[in-house]
Structure 1
Amino acid sequence: MGEVVKFGPRKRKPTAQSSLCREGHHKWKVEKNSQFDVKQGRLVTVYRCERCGKRKTTAQ
């Protein structure tokens, strides 16, 4: 008879990015340290995703 191999539960590898963020569902939070764009001369709101760190900007 052959050797019996035990299979245990799989261990998940930690992912660098949340699965929600990969699908485009970010958790945006306003970054308050940079609010003014010198080149355009107007207020700019900078958002950063809490999970993955991606940034997006909107100008008012």
Structure 2
Amino acid sequence: MVISRSTIRSNSLTIEYAMGSLAAAALAAVLYAVINGGGVVDAIESIITDALSKTPS
């Protein structure tokens, strides 16, 4: 069986797109977990509270 170079290239690109999509989905899952964790919300609240409690000199 003879496989043409265009078929090999096409299959390689398909695998590359699939791996890129998988990596993007994994990154989105990690970011979702970090954002929904309590640490991020506490940090943002702390920054806002500090900024509002200081009076200009």
TM-score range, shorter chain: under 0.3
- Who wins on radius of gyration, i.e. which is larger? 2
Structure with greater strand percent:
1
State TM-score, norm by structure 1.
0.27
State TM-score, norm by structure 2.
0.27
Larger RCO of the pair (alpha carbons < 8 Å, separation 6+): 1
